[in-house]
Homo-oligomer: A and B are copies of this chain.
Amino acid sequence: MNYVDIPPPPPHAELRADVDVDLAGTVHRVRRLAARAFVTLLLPGGLLQVVVEGGVPESVRTGAALRVEGRLRTASLRDPALAWPGLELAAERVEVLASPTATPPFDLGRPELAATPEHRLEHRPIALRHPKVRAVFTIQAALVRAFREHLDGLGFTGIHSPKLGAQGAEGGASLFELPYFGRRAVLAQSPQLYKEMCVAAFGRVYEVGPVFRAEPHATRRHLNEYTSLDVELGPLGDLGALMALEVGLLRAMFAHVRERCARELALLGVAPPTAARAVSLPFAAVKARSGEAGDDLSPGEERAACAWAEAEAGAELVFVTQYPSSKRPFYARDCAADPTVTESFDLLYRGTEITTGGLRIHEPDVLRAKLVARGMDPEAFGFFLQAHDCGLPPHGGFGLGLERLTALICGLDNVRDAALFPRDAHRLSP
C-alpha cells in the first residue's frame, strides 16, 4: 500500500516587529477609509490589527476568515481589545478563505454588546464572539489551568468519575432521572462519593467536571448544569488544614489570572482578583450579628459577613464554619464537642458563597447510623460503606463552582453570563 508520512507541525511563532508572517484568522471588525482598510483579526493569542493599503473587497467583513501575508511593524494602538497593541500587520496579500452570508444579530465591533440578557442568550454562539464576552472565558480557562497546575504540584491525581449512577450523593429532590437499559439512572449532583472513595486509592484527588441539579431555580446565582472544581484528600487532621489548602489554591489561581489575563481584566474594567487575607467566623456568630432566624445564611447575610470582614479585618475570603448539622449532607462530620454543628464551612468571596467543604465521616459505624437517622437506605450506599469498612483515612475536601467564581471575578451580575451555554429551567438550547 502507498502511504503518506505525517510530519510534525511547524513550531508556534511569536509575533514581533520586522518579521514577515503568513497568518490565518477570523475577522472581528473592518474599518474602511479612502485609501486603506483596518481589519481586526482574531488569532489564537487574541486580536491583531491588520492594515491593507488600497482597501479590501466586500467579502472581508465580520465573521470572514482570511489568510494574510505581510510584515509586522511597531504601532501604538488604543483599542483595549487588541492583544498586540504595540504591533500591526502591514498586509501584502489577503486571501478570503470564507465569508459569512448573514449579518450578526448584534454589532460585534462596538465596545459594548448592546443587547438584552435574553437576546444575548438566545444568540449565544454569536455573542461569544464579542471581545468582552470572550474575555470572561479566557479568564475562566486560566482559572481551571491554575487549579490543575497548583494541585498537580501538590501530588494530587486528576480523576474522572461517572456522571451516570444509581443514586445521588446529596439526597433530596434535585436529581435528574432517566431510563437506562430498563432501569432508572440519575445524573450526578456532585462527584462526592467517588472522590471520597478515591482518597483511599490515591490520597489526594481533584476533578473538573459537570454536575447536574434539577432544582427549578430562577435566581441569578444558580444553574441546572455547572462545572464543579472538586478536591478531596486524606489523611487530613483538621478543618484548618483544609481551609489553608483552599486559601493557597485560590491565591495561586488569582495570581495566574493577574499574570495571564491582565488585558482581559482591563477590558472588563474589573480589579485584578486578590485574596490577601482569609478569616473564619462561626455560623452562629454571623447569625447573632444579623439577628435573622434560620439554619442557613441568606444572600443578605453573606454580603454583610463579607462587608464586615473586609472592613474589620481587611479579609477578602470569609470561611463560615460550624454549619448546623441539619443542613449538611449525611457524609458531613459532626463536631465532637457539639454534634448539632459540623466540621464544615462555606467560603464567601465578594459577598457570595463559592465553596462548600468540610471534613467527612470516615468511621463506617458512624456513617451507617447517620444514614439510618436520616431515613436513608444503607443498602443503596453499600459500595460507599464497603469503602469505609475496608478503611478510609480521616479526610475532607471541597467543591468550587467555576461559573460562580468566574462571574464574581469578572463583575458579572448573573452566573448565566459565566457559562458558555447556560442551562436553566427555561433554556436547553443553544
Which A residues lie at the B interface, using CB under 8 A?
1-9, 12, 24-27, 42-45, 62-67, 97-105, 123-126, 128-129, 133-134, 137-138, 140-141, 144-145, 148, 152-167, 176-181, 183, 185, 187, 194, 197-198, 200-204, 208-210, 212, 216, 224-225, 227, 234-235, 237, 240-241, 243-245, 247-248, 251, 277-281, 285-286, 289, 308-309, 312-313, 315, 317, 319, 362-365, 383-384, 386-387, 389-394, 402, 419-423, 425-426, 428-430
Contact = CB atoms under 8 A, between A and B. Distances in A.
A115 to B, nearest CB: 14
A98 B8 contact: no
A160 B210 contact: yes
B185 A128 contact: no
B428 A279 contact: no
CB-CB nearest 4 A-B residue pairs: A63-B391, A44-B155, A100-B391, A65-B393
Which residue, of A67, A152, A386, A402, has the highest number of chain B Cβ atoms within 10 A? A386
26 contacts: A2-B281, A3-B279, A3-B280, A5-B277, A9-B245, A26-B391, A44-B203, A63-B392, A97-B237, A98-B235, A103-B390, A125-B197, A125-B201, A125-B383, A125-B387, A126-B390, A128-B200, A128-B202, A137-B202, A141-B157, A160-B210, A160-B227, A163-B212, A164-B225, A164-B423, A165-B428
Contacts of A208: 208
A60 to B, nearest CB: 11
Nearest to A313: B3
Contacts of A209: 209-210
A167 B194 CA distance: 29
A58 to B, nearest CB: 14
A310 to B, nearest CB: 12
Contacts of A365: 101
B1 A286 contact: yes
Nearest to A102: B389
Contacts of A138: 157
A6 B247 contact: yes
Contacts of A234: 26, 65
A39 to B, nearest CB: 13
Contacts of A134: 201-202
A181 B216 contact: yes
A42 B43 CA distance: 46
Contacts of A161: 420-421
Contact of A176 (B27, B128, B178, B391): B178
Contacts of A45: 155
Which residue, of A3, A105, A227, A387, has the highest number of chain B Cβ atoms within 10 A? A3
Given A9-B241, A208-B208, A280-B4, A145 B126 contact: no
A175 to B, nearest CB: 11
Given A63-B391, A99-B391, A244-B6, A158 B141 contact: yes
